[in-house]
């Protein structure tokens, strides 16, 4: 079983991004089953107006039709890092991670929990996702041929309690599609991903945006696949492209068996004793 992460330099035009993704999908390894992840903002990476223009109701629209068609035609499990989806009776959107199986059926959807409202010392400076998006309020773990996939998006990575909850729900692979800024990525991307892999003894699949984008945005790239011991299986530091690595179920089982941290965790017992 093979894990694949696509690294993109997406922009504000869905047709242009569609062409970029199509070109990378043509380079997929032939092995099946194949789990392919696109980064955050893979469909559109632009200002509020560009995002609103591309946004679709969940389950309805030409963009989602295209995503489903890719999964079906290529016979892959496709995780779309994020795309904007509409919320009924609201001018806000969700940043939604969508999962399609090899038949092109959408089997899961996760709305980003933690919105990136921060100030960064880069060319863009001020980030306020809450101006456009509304946070989700549910976790999502989905069964697949590769194991249980725990879904997350980018800024979620800074909240370890989310990943512990995903592991508690049986996650084997943590999905972390992202558009980390160059400044924060250089400082924290790798150590945070390794921590989530090690703490939860899960594979981590992290497809990233890379390079210069409109509005002065700069993204870090360095798409990664990590094993449950936190070791790097594959990395693409710069440029568009893809990385792949084999999923080793024996490796996952061995790490969890030799150091059973999930069974040793006692914090909930402490809380119960104090009630």
Tell me, what DSSP letter sits at residue 27? Answer: T
Q: Are strands 77-86 and 34-38 parallel, antiparallel or unpaired?
A: parallel
Interatomic CA distance for residues 149 and 141, integer angstroms:
5
Question: Is 112 a catalytic site residue?
Answer: yes
Which tokens in the block code for residue 12? 């504000």
Q: Please classify residue 98 by burial: count the beta carbons closer than 10 Å to its beta carbon, then call 0-12 exposed, 13-18 middle and 19+ buried.
A: buried
Active-site choice (2, 97, 112, 202) = 112
Question: Is 92 a catalytic site residue?
Answer: no
Tell me, what DSSP letter sits at residue 193? Answer: H
Interatomic CA distance for residues 216 and 66, integer angstroms:
29
Which tokens in the block code for residue 166? 């995903």
Q: How many residues does the chain have?
A: 275
Interatomic CA distance for residues 102 and 77, integer angstroms:
5
Active-site choice (97, 109, 140, 154) = 154
Interatomic CA distance for residues 162 and 153, integer angstroms:
11
Which tokens in the block code for residue 45? 């990476």
Contacts 24+ apart (CB under 8 A), 157-164: 157/192, 157/193, 157/196, 158/114, 158/188, 158/192, 159/113, 159/114, 160/195, 160/196, 160/199, 162/113, 162/114, 163/196, 163/199, 163/200, 163/202, 164/199, 164/200
Question: What residues act catalytically?
Answer: 40, 112, 154
């Amino acid at each position: 079983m093979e894990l694949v992460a696509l690294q993109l330099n997406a922009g504000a035009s869905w047709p242009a991004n569609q062409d970029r993704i199509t070109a990378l999908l043509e380079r997929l390894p032939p092995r099946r089953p194949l789990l392919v992840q696109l980064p955050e903002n893979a469909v559109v990476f632009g200002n509020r107006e560009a995002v609103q223009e591309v946004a679709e109701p969940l389950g309805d629209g030409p963009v989602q039709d295209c995503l489903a068609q890719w999964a079906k035609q290529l016979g892959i499990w496709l995780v779309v890092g994020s795309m904007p989806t509409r919320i009924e009776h609201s001018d806000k959107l969700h940043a939604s991670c969508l999962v399609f199986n090899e038949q092109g059926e959408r089997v899961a959807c996760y709305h980003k929990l933690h919105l990136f409202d921060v100030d960064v010392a880069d060319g863009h400076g001020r980030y306020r996702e809450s101006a456009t998006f509304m946070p989700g309020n549910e976790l999502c773990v989905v069964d697949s041929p590769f194991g249980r996939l725990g879904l997350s998006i980018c800024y979620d990575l800074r909240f370890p309690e989310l990943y512990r909850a995903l592991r508690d729900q049986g996650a084997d692979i943590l999905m972390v599609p992202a558009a980390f800024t160059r400044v924060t990525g250089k400082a924290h991307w790798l150590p945070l991903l390794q921590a989530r892999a090690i703490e939860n003894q899960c594979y981590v699949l992290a497809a990233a945006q890379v390079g210069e984008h409109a509005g002065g945005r700069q993204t870090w790239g360095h798409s990664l696949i990590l094993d449950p011991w936190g070791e790097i299986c594959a990395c693409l530091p710069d440029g568009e492209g893809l990385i792949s690595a084999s999923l080793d179920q024996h490796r996952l089982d061995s790490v969890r068996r030799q150091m059973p941290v999930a069974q040793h965790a006692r914090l909930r017992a402490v809380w119960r004793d104090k009630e």
